[in-house]
Amino acid sequence: MDEDRRAAERPEFGPSGYLPERASQRARKIVLRAPLGAQWIVASLVAGVVVVIAGVWFLLSTGAAPEEPWVAVAEVEEVGRALEVPDRDVLLVAGAGRIRAFTEVGDVAFCAQSNRLEAADGRVWSLTGRGFAGATSLSELPTTLHEGTVYLDPTTSVPGPDPRQDPMDPECS
């Protein structure tokens, strides 16, 4: 008899003994009343397929060399710390985390002793193209690397950073 009375007092949902009786009365309001339908399974499978297709498309599309207006100018091994590309009037400089292409450089060259760019007239620049002691900063062309080749966009020129007034003596000029 006691078992029949206890069975009648038990809630009609959830595993017995899972929640105290008072908590189970309040929890009844948040329990899902119906199982999720097959549409949820189909939707999750479709979403997974979409993610896989997008990932494969992304991986396959990133392998191509840059298209016009990008132009291949040198191999990375050729650049070293700096490389002049005379037919384009560009100085490629490896430093400050990437390869930069400076335009309209004239007599600017890399100085290994100071690890800076210097001109014969005593002007000095950092490897980012920032001018020192009143020298105007160097303009830069956008660069990118693809499979060991340096490409640059000759149609776009980016102005250099603001010059600094700090005095800087050349070491190679």
pLDDT at 31 over 60: no
pLDDT at 64 over 70: yes
**CATH homologous superfamily for 71-152?**
Rieske [2Fe-2S] iron-sulphur domain (2.102.10.10)
42-53 mean pLDDT? 95
What pLDDT sits at residue 25? 65
pTM score > 0.85 for this model? no
Please count the other Cβ atoms lying within 10 Å of the Cβ belonging to residue 132: 21
Token digits of residue 37: 């339908």
Asked if 133 and 166 touch (Cβ cutoff 8 Å), the reply is yes
Lowest mean per-residue pLDDT among 14-28, 57-71, 157-171? 14-28
User: Rounded distance, CA 82 to CA 91, Å?
Assistant: 7
Q: What percentage of the chain has pLDDT greater than the value 90?
A: 9
pLDDT at 173 over 70: no
Residue ranges per domain, the chain? 1-33, 39-63, 71-152
What pLDDT digit, counting tens, does each position of 101-115 carry?
888 777 888 888 888
Burial of 95: CB neighbours in 10 Å, binned 0-12, 13-18, 19+: middle
